[in-house]
Amino acid sequence: MARASAEGKLILKSVLREVSRVERVILDAAGSCGFGGADQFAIKLALEEALANAIKHGNAGDASKSVVVEYHIDPDQARISVQDEGSGFDPKCVPDCTLDENLEKPNGRGVMLMKTYMTDVSYNKAGNRVTLIKARSESAAP
Amino acid sequence: MTVDQLQIDIRPDDRGTVVSLRGLATISHAEKLRAALSPVVQKGLGRVVLDLSCLEFINSDGLGALLEFRKNLAAVGAQLRLCGVRGQIADLIRKTRLFLIFQIYDDAELALSA
């Protein structure tokens, strides 16, 4: 039986090994709220991309800086925000990784993947907090 | 999804090399993946097949490692071929349009013999 909702706030250091702990908490909550396999894949992917951007780019890998993750998940949707301590960036300035001339480049796909797999992706004005929203797929109903 | 583990098996074949990825290629595994693939490039033997049939997850960093692998193999005259691309991984390859970059076969046998 799906849980009514789950929410929380997680603060992690800017080190990659912290990512799996955060993912586990959020994916467990999503599972409890009825999010199935394809939705869990999408949330894990978008969350990894958001956390990688926050740790590597926003906080420049400085372990003394923190990343704050807030989530609210209910049976209709998952809303997750990821904020770093960096000066932010303009997501409109990220090159389109699906253009032929960019296909062989090994990086630059994170923002595209978040937008593709989430129902909605938005940034705060500073560009250092991304909010991911994933509506639960009908096929994943408990 | 299973626990966050990535298993990398490398099997020499008289027609080339088969590299099988099993599990989840998460943000924590990108360096492990690059380190495991590097010796395959150094051998540079003909066809190299990357079997993704047991891969459950890969992120953009993992995709980047595969693209670097392909490029490094090409630099030593070897070819990278993917096989077993299905489910969520196939969807990811389609959405990123990387099917235009990688040669993709149904299974390792076909990839080695084509």
Please state, in angstroms and rounded to a whole number, the distance separating the CA atoms of residues B63 and B95. 12
- Per-residue pLDDT reduced to its tens digit, A83-132: 999 999 998 899 999 999 999 999 999 999 999 999 999 999 999 999 99
- Per-residue pLDDT reduced to its tens digit, B90-107: 999 999 999 999 999 999
Chain A residues 91-130 with a CB less than 8 Å from chain B? 97-98, 100, 103-110, 112-113, 116
A104–B71 CB contact, under 8 Å: yes
Buried b (16+ CB within 10 A) or exposed e, A125-142: eebbbbbbbbebeeebee
pLDDT at A141: 47
Strands B79-83 and A66-73: unpaired
**Residues A80, A39: contact at Cβ < 8 Å?**
no
Mean pLDDT of B46-75: 95
Nearest by CB to residue B60, choosing from A20, A104, A113, is: A113
Can you tell me the ipTM of this complex?
0.91
B97–A17 CB contact, under 8 Å: no
B59–A48 CB contact, under 8 Å: yes
pLDDT at B73: 94
Checking if the pLDDT of A139 tops 70, the result is no
